[in-house]
């Protein structure tokens, strides 16, 4: 696949750059700028080459028309600060504002267009509608660079269709993501542990099935762990439970034993009467979860156990928090796993935090990005890669 250096001399050329700026907002305040920071190196590589950079991205899930709460306007200021230069902002995607903004750019300048998903063509299942929007985007530029790893698993206009209309290459962020994920799937250094958390077991079934062929240990936490515990015959009270997947999980547990893959489940959990930080909580054995309580984190003994399972690892992939880390009483399990990854990194292991809630969790809990081997910008894309799926936004680049 082509990289930016394969595109030739970019001085004076307009580059359409698909970035991932889908950051969490509290009103107009950015609460985690990780994805913006991750986009900066590729933008700077292009500006230093003398390109006129037109950044396109999405934020949230608008329904194909403008919604003020999903505007990329709050991103402009932070992106300008990180780049050390002013970023022009177009108030539409392919309309008059976009065209005049792009036309006003000089060599080395940067512009950001408004949220792509304000146009229904971006995510349309109708190929003709999607292609029409892609043609409008392509008409703004000379070349296309794909650097939004968080969306490469989607067949969308700015990810897939544009790449077929302009000379195209992958940006540095996408290149790094793919290189790291290859290390998790092609002859990983062992022992290799995978930590999976988050709410829904259904979201992780395909990756569990695929990773059982390569991982040595699977450590399960988060809301999804209660379906595993139920599959082993435990009562889980009011905890999150996917009853439809219990039999599937039983099959995975049996398959893991057959393959010699260790599945690690908690021995204790933190429970509370409801999903709230101020309703009282306690630590109980997995054999003693009260009928009127729900599990909201792995317990302290489990946290020690999980950390011990990572001490000798040479490769670790983590996707999904161990509990409701946003609430202080239920953050300890996630913090213990993060600390264990930091120590594994210091001992020379490749540690990969798989985007989404996991990335937000480590930052919120006081860890810095450089304490881990790699923090992915794409949770869903990372998982689909590890499931063995083809990612349209990667394959289209040739």
Active site residues: 35, 200, 356, 380
63 labelled binding-site residue = no
22 labelled binding-site residue = yes
204 labelled binding-site residue = yes
Which tokens go with 52? Answer: 């006129």
Which tokens go with 136? Answer: 């409008």
Beta-strand pair 268-272/294-298: antiparallel
112 labelled binding-site residue = no
129 labelled binding-site residue = no
Which tokens go with 383? Answer: 């998982």
Handedness of CA 286, 290, 294, 299 (dihedral sign): negative
323 labelled binding-site residue = no
Nearest to 57 by CA among 125, 143, 142, 159: 159
Beta-strand pair 192-196/315-319: parallel
Handedness of CA 210, 213, 215, 217 (dihedral sign): positive
32 labelled binding-site residue = no
86 labelled binding-site residue = no
- Say if CB 72 and CB 112 are below 8 A apart: yes
- Spatial neighbors of 282 by CB under 8 A, at least 6 apart, are 270, 271, 272
Backbone φ and ψ of 312, nearest 5°: -100, 5
- The owner of tokens 């994805």 is 35
- Say if CB 293 and CB 237 are below 8 A apart: yes
309 labelled binding-site residue = no
* Residue list for the binding site for ATP: 204, 295, 326, 355-358
Please report, in range form, the residues annotated as the binding site. 20-22, 35, 58-61, 117, 154, 204, 295, 326, 355-358
Q: Binding site for substrate: what residues are annotated?
A: 20-22, 35, 58-61, 117, 154
Extract the annotated binding site for (2R)-3-phosphoglycerate: 35, 117, 154
């Amino acid at each position: 696949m082509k990289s930016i250096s394969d595109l030739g001399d970019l001085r004076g050329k307009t580059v359409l750059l698909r970035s991932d700026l889908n950051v969490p907002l509290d009103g107009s305040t950015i609460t985690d700028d990780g994805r913006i920071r991750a986009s900066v190196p590729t933008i700077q590589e292009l500006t230093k080459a003398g390109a006129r950079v037109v950044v396109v991205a999405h934020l949230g899930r608008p329904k194909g028309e403008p919604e003020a709460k999903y505007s990329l306007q709050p991103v402009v200021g932070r992106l300008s600060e990180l780049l050390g230069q002013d970023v022009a902002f177009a108030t539409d995607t392919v309309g008059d504002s976009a065209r005049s903004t792009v036309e006003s750019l000089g060599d080395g300048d940067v512009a950001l267009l408004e949220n792509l998903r304000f146009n229904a063509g971006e995510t349309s299942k109708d190929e003709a509608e999607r292609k029409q929007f892609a043609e409008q985007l392509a008409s703004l530029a000379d070349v296309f660079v794909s650097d939004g790893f968080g969306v490469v698993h989607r067949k969308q206009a700015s990810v897939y269709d544009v790449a077929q209309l302009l000379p195209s290459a992958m940006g540095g962020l996408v290149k790094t993501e793919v290189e790291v994920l290859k290390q998790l799937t092609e002859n990983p250094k062992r022992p290799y542990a995978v930590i999976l958390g988050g709410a829904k077991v259904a979201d992780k079934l395909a990756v569990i099935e695929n990773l059982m062929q390569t991982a040595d240990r699977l450590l399960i936490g988060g809301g999804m762990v209660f379906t595993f515990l139920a599959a082993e015959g435990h009562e889980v009270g009011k905890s999150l439970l996917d009853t439809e997947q219990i039999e599937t999980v039983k099959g995975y547990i049996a398959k893991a034993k057959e393959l010699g893959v260790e599945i690690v489940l908690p021995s204790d959990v933190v429970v509370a009467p409801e999903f709230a930080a101020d309703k009282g909580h306690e630590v109980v054995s997995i054999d003693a979860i009260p009928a009127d309580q729900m599990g909201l984190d792995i317990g302290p003994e489990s946290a020690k156990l999980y950390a011990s399972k990572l001490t000798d690892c040479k490769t670790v992939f983590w996707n999904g928090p161990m509990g409701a880390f946003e609430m202080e009483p239920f953050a300890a399990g996630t913090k213990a796993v993060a600390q264990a990854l930091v120590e594994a990194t210091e001992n020379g292991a490749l540690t990969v935090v798989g985007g989404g809630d996991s990335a937000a969790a480590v930052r919120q809990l006081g860890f810095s990005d450089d304490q881990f081997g790699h923090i992915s910008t794409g949770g869903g894309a990372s998982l689909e890669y590890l499931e063995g799926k083809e990612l349209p936004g990667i394959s289209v680049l040739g």
